[in-house]
Amino acid sequence: MVAPSLIPNKAGDRVKTDRRDAIQLARLMRSGDLTPVDVPRVDDEAIRDLTRAREDTIRDLQAAKFRLQAFWLRHDFRYTGRATWSTAPLRWLSEVVGPTPAQPMVFPAYVRAVNDHTARLQRLEQALHEQVTSWRLPPVVAALQALRGVPCTVAVTTLAELGDLTRFDTPRQLMTCLGLMPSEYSSGERRRQGSITKTGNTHARRALVEGAWADQYPANVSRHLQLRLETPPKAIQDISWKAQVRLCKR
C-alpha cells in the first residue's frame, strides 16, 4: 500500500490512462520512489480511536476551564486557595452568588461543563486501561512504561499511532515518521539545520513530547517509576536507566 499524495508526477502531463498509470507505477516501484503506508489492524485502529477520543476530551476540558476562568476575571471572582481545580474550589464555586439574575444561570452552566468533561475523561481513561489488557501489545506497553515520563496513556497512544515498531529498520526511520528529525537547508560547504520538521504523526509526537518534559529534572527513580519497573525484565530496566541518564544530561 502506497500513499497516493506522495506519488511523483511530471509537470505538464495532461494524458492519463490506466495503461500509462500502470507503467508509471511499475517504474516508480522499481526505482524505489513510492512511499509505503502501514495499514493498521482492526484492533489497533479501535485502540487508536479510543486514544484520540481521550485527546479530544482533554481539549474540550481545557476549553471549558478557560471559559470559566474568563468568567471569574470578568466579574472579579477570586479564589484565595492554592489548588485551582480540586474539590475545594469547586465547592467554593457552588456558593458564589452573582449580582444579577442572569449570572447565576451562566455560572453553573460553565461549572457543569467542566464536571461533565472531567467525568467523560475518567470514563475514557478507564476504558482505555481495560481494553489494553486484551490488546495484542500489552508486553510492549509494559516495556515502554519502564521509561521515565511514559505512563500507560503515553505508551498506548504511541503504539496505537505507530503500530508495529519492527517495521522501522533504523531509529532514523522512526524519527522521520514522528517528524522529530531536524529540518535542514544545506548547500555546498554550508550546513544549516533548523527545528524539527513536524511532518509525521502529530498524536504520537505530542504524547512523546509530553513525556519528555520529565527529563528536565535530574535522573531519579520515583515511586511511580519503581512500581512500573517491577514487571519488565532486568535488560529493559537497564535500558530505561541508561536512557534516563542520557536524556537528563542533554
Per-residue pLDDT tens over the stretch 101-157: 777 778 888 888 998 999 999 999 999 999 999 999 999 999 999 999 999 999 999
The burial class, CB within 10 Å (0-12 / 13-18 / 19+), for 180 is middle
Handedness of CA 6, 180, 243, 146 (dihedral sign): negative
Q: Summarize pLDDT for 34-69 with one digit per residue, the tens.
A: 988 888 889 999 999 999 999 999 999 999 999 988
Mean pLDDT of the region 203-221: 92
Handedness of CA 200, 213, 145, 207 (dihedral sign): negative
Q: At residue 193, what is the residue type?
A: Q
Distance of alpha carbon 211 from alpha carbon 247, whole angstroms:
12
Given pLDDT bands bounded at 50, 70 and 90, which one contains residue 83? Answer: low
Cβ contacts of 32 within 8 Å, gap of 6 or more: none
